[in-house]
A = this chain, B = another copy of it.
Amino acid sequence: MTSIQHPVLLEELRRITGPAHVLCDGDLSAYTQDWRKRAQGKALAVVRPASVEEVAAIVKACAAAGVSLVPQGGNTGLAVGSVPDESGTQVVLSLQRMNAVRAMDAANLTITVEAGCILQSLQEAAEKAGFLFPLSLAAEGSCTIGGNLATNAGGTQVLRYGNARDLCLGLEVVTAQGEIWHGLSGLRKDNTGYDLRDLFVGSEGTLGIITAATLKLYPQPAARLTAWAAVPSMEAAVTLLGLAHRHLGAGLTGFEVMGQFALSLVDKHFAQLRVPLFKEAPWCVLLENSDHESETHAREQFERLLETALEDGCVSDAVVAENLAQAHQLWHIRESIPLAQAEEGLNIKHDISIAVSRIPEFVEATDALLRQHIAGVRLVNFGHLGDGNLHYNVQAPEGGDAQAFLRDREEEVNTLVYDSVARFDGSISAEHGVGSLKTDKLATYKSLVALSMMRAIKAGLDPQNLMNPGRIVRL
**A105 is an interface residue with CB less than 8 A from chain B:** yes
**A454 is an interface residue with CB less than 8 A from chain B:** yes
Q: Write 22 A-B pairs (CB below 8 A) sorted by A numbering.
A: A107-B242, A108-B355, A154-B191, A160-B250, A175-B453, A180-B449, A181-B450, A185-B427, A187-B355, A189-B387, A189-B388, A189-B427, A189-B431, A191-B202, A193-B446, A194-B202, A194-B453, A194-B454, A196-B453, A219-B245, A219-B249, A457-B460
Interface centre among A191, A291, A355, A453, by most chain B C-beta atoms within 10 angstroms, is A191
A189 touching B353, Cβ below 8 Å: yes
Contact for A195 among B165, B358, B425, B447, CB less than 8 A: B165
Known: A198-B198, A292-B246, A292-B249. A432 touches B181 (CB 8 A): no
B249 touching A190, Cβ below 8 Å: no
Chain A residues at the B interface, C-beta cutoff of 8 Å: 105-110, 151-152, 154, 158, 160, 163, 165-166, 175, 179-183, 185-196, 198-199, 201-203, 207, 219, 221, 238, 241-242, 245-251, 291-293, 301, 353-358, 384, 387-389, 425-434, 438, 442, 445-447, 449-454, 456-461, 472-473
Q: Which residues of B are found within 8 Å of A191, using beta-carbon distances?
A: 151-152, 154, 202, 427, 429-434
B194 touching A108, Cβ below 8 Å: no
A-B pairs, 9 with minimum CB distance: A250-B250, A249-B292, A460-B460, A107-B357, A456-B460, A198-B198, A190-B427, A189-B430, A186-B355
Q: Which residues of B are found within 8 Å of A358, using beta-carbon distances?
A: 108
A469 to chain B, nearest CB (A): 15
Measured in the bound complex, the distance between the Cα atoms of B198 and A417 in whole Å is 28
Known: A107-B238, A188-B387, A454-B193. A199 touches B202 (CB 8 A): no
B450 touching A457, Cβ below 8 Å: no
Contact for A430 among B190, B193, B384, CB less than 8 A: B190
A283 to chain B, nearest CB (A): 16
A193 touching B355, Cβ below 8 Å: no
B457 touching A355, Cβ below 8 Å: no
Given A187-B430, A192-B427, A193-B454, 19 new contacts (CB under 8 A):
A105-B357, A108-B358, A109-B245, A160-B250, A175-B449, A186-B388, A186-B425, A187-B388, A188-B387, A190-B430, A191-B427, A191-B433, A193-B202, A194-B199, A195-B202, A246-B292, A250-B292, A456-B461, A460-B460
B110 touching A355, Cβ below 8 Å: yes
Residue ID in chain B nearest A206 by CB atoms: B194
Protomer copies: 2
Contact for A193 among B183, B192, B354, B450, CB less than 8 A: B450
Measured in the bound complex, the distance between the Cα atoms of B251 and A219 in whole Å is 13
Interface centre among A201, A245, A249, by most chain B C-beta atoms within 10 angstroms, is A249
Q: Which residues of B are found within 8 Å of A357, using beta-carbon distances?
A: 105-108, 186
A389 to chain B, nearest CB (A): 5
A192 to chain B, nearest CB (A): 5
Q: Which residues of B are found within 8 Å of A450, using beta-carbon distances?
A: 181, 183, 193, 196
A380 to chain B, nearest CB (A): 19
B163 touching A189, Cβ below 8 Å: yes
A438 to chain B, nearest CB (A): 8
A193 touching B473, Cβ below 8 Å: yes
Q: Which residues of B are found within 8 Å of A249, using beta-carbon distances?
A: 219, 221, 250-251, 291-292
Measured in the bound complex, the distance between the Cα atoms of B450 and A355 in whole Å is 35
Measured in the bound complex, the distance between the Cα atoms of B176 and A61 in whole Å is 36
Measured in the bound complex, the distance between the Cα atoms of B186 and A163 in whole Å is 15
Measured in the bound complex, the distance between the Cα atoms of B151 and A115 in whole Å is 30
B429 touching A190, Cβ below 8 Å: yes
A442 touching B192, Cβ below 8 Å: yes
Residue ID in chain B nearest A220 by CB atoms: B246
Q: Which residues of B are found within 8 Å of A108, using beta-carbon distances?
A: 355-358, 388
Q: Which residues of B are found within 8 Å of A251, using beta-carbon distances?
A: 249-250, 292
Contact for A449 among B105, B181, B426, B442, CB less than 8 A: B181
A158 touching B189, Cβ below 8 Å: yes
Q: Which residues of B are found within 8 Å of A461, using beta-carbon distances?
A: 453, 456-457
Measured in the bound complex, the distance between the Cα atoms of B180 and A450 in whole Å is 9
Q: Which residues of B are found within 8 Å of A186, using beta-carbon distances?
A: 355, 357, 388, 425
Interface centre among A193, A431, A451, by most chain B C-beta atoms within 10 angstroms, is A193
A188 touching B447, Cβ below 8 Å: no
Measured in the bound complex, the distance between the Cα atoms of B253 and A249 in whole Å is 13
Residue ID in chain B nearest A192 by CB atoms: B429
